[in-house]
Structures are given as structure tokens and as C-alpha cells.
Amino acid sequence: MKRKLYVVIILFWTLIHHVQAQKAVNFKIFKANGHKTSYKKLLKKAAQADIVFFGEEHDNPIAHWFEIKLTKDLYKKTKGNIIMGAEMLETDNAQAYTDYLKGKITYKKLKKEARLWPNFKTDYKPLLDFAKEKNIRFVATNIPRRYASRVFHGGFKALDTISNKEKAWIAPLPIKYDSTLTSYVAMIKMEHVKYMPKKMQKNMPKAQAVKDATMAYNILKNYQKGNIFIHFNGSYHSNNKQGIVWYIKQKNPKLKIMTIDVETQEQLKKLNPKHLNKADFIIIVDQDMPRSY
């Protein structure tokens, strides 16, 4: 009798814990068409891709948690056959990151030698440290920001006068550019862009494009068949299969690409129609979730 009572109590508390855990869930995963799906299915699809783009909100802690979780799970599934890369790492700092990964310099030294984002230690260092621990290649893919700034102020022609050494940090010139891509058109219509001088309004998407082109170039240069290249970037760089994805498709349309997008909503029951088809998988996070900065 006592044993039966004990079992009932255990089952009761297990049920309570399960209910509380369900209430605590502050994200849901949807497919592009708005149908709910699971992390297990997302992982299975990612393991079948050549390149996985994880489009994040830079200050979203759930996004950063998913990034390290997906990376570790893909590493297990592929028996270590992954390559990592990130928008947050700029090409002219590549040697500093390589030295850190090889244990030649400390993180304190890395902070002095590379331009780290303010939230790097909390949100991106775990990824870098996992790569260091498992000896995974981690590629600095993004253009040094000063060159994107040049394009913003002077268009693509502003890159014509830079040295050959500097050009090695950028996608080969001239940069192919399609001004009709919806992501670039939308940039000009953004509220904060409307008040810029006309010249800068016109150059804003070009500055985005030179980042996209450079990241695509470095991903393709470092991709190896039989591996999965997982790339971390702001979602705008890969949403709607544009941005970086568009540039990759221009060079190698046969590569299997999977995209992930992270968005916030007030409710998690169904996907807001404005997020439909932004990515192959859309992770919706409760908008009340605290930000990392």
C-alpha cells in the first residue's frame, strides 16, 4: 500500500513538473508555410544540407542558445564534419581568431587584436570556444566594416582606390548587384533611412550587398564537400533566400541550403503572416523574453 502511494505521489509531481515546463516554454518552431514543427525535424533537415544559415536577432538570448545547441548536435550527427563561420568575424582579423583557436593567444589578447562585438563574450565566444575544443574550422566571413562604410558614403566606386592587400579582404570586384531584390528595396523604405540624404539612401543597400557578397565569397572559398558549413548572421542577410544566399546561388546553385530565422511575437500559437516564407524554419520567441543587451 505504501509503495502504491509512493508511486502515485511521484507520478503526481512528475505531471506538475511537466505542466510547469510547458508553461515556461517561450518559443515555438514553424516551417516556412506556418505549420508547427519540432527541433528534431529542424535538426534532421539541417543534417541534410550543405550550408545552414542561422539568421539571428543579435540581442536574442534564445537565438544564441539555439546556435550553440544546433552546432553541438550537428557535430555529433556528422561525426565532426562541420565548418563554422560568422558575420561577427571580419576578414582582416582572421589571423587573430586563428591564433586564438590554436591556443597561441589568450582571449584577453584576442580582445586587443580583433574588433569584437559588445556582446561577443556572452553570445559568440561559446561558439568560438566549442570550435577551439573540437578543432573545428571557424571562418571570419564578413567584410571589415570600414569598407562597407566607404560604400555607404561613396557607392561601389569607393572601393576602386584601395590596395591589393585590402581587396583580399573583400569579395572580388566589381561587386555584382541586383537593386530589384526585395530585401534591398525594403531597406530604402525603412523609417530611419527615409531621413538620410538621397545619395546615402541609394547606397544603403549597396553597403549591405558588399557584406552579403563578401560573406558568400568566403563561405564558398572555405566550404568542403562532405561537410556542413553552419553560418551565423543577422537574419536580414539570409531571409527570403536573398542576401548571402542569393550570392551563393549565383556561383553554385546546386548546393543544398537551409535557412533559419528568429523572430519575436506577442503570442506563440501561430505564425504571424508577415513571417511566412522568410526561412525554411522560423523560431518564434515570446516578445517579453529579456534581451541580452
Q: Where are the domains of the chain?
A: 28-286
If you write DSSP's letter for every residue of 175-233 in order, what string do you get? PP--TTSHHHHHHHTSHHHHTS-HHHHHHHHHHHHHHHHHHHHHHHHH--TTSEEEEEE
User: What mean pLDDT is reported for the chain?
Assistant: 92
Confidence at 293, pLDDT banded by 50, 70, 90: confident
**Predicted confidence (pLDDT) per residue in 103-125, tens digit:** 999 999 999 999 999 999 999 99
Q: What type of residue sits at position 140?
A: A
Lowest mean pLDDT among 110-119, 120-129, 191-200, 263-272: 191-200
Q: Which residue from 5, 79, 19, 16 is spatially nearest to 47, judged by alpha carbons?
A: 79
Classify domain 28-286 by CATH number.
3.40.50.11550
**Predicted confidence (pLDDT) per residue in 15-39, tens digit:** 334 334 344 568 999 999 999 999 9
pLDDT of amino acid 221:
98
- Residue 220 in this model has a pLDDT that exceeds 50: yes
**Predicted confidence (pLDDT) per residue in 45-66, tens digit:** 999 999 999 999 999 999 999 9
- Residue 195 in this model has a pLDDT that exceeds 90: no
Interior/surface letters 3-28, b for 16+ CB within 10 angstroms, e for the rest? eeeeeeeeeeeeeeeeeeeeeeeebb
- Residue 3 in this model has a pLDDT that exceeds 80: no
- Say if residue 274 is exposed, middle or buried (CB neighbours under 10 Å; 0-12, 13-18, 19+): exposed
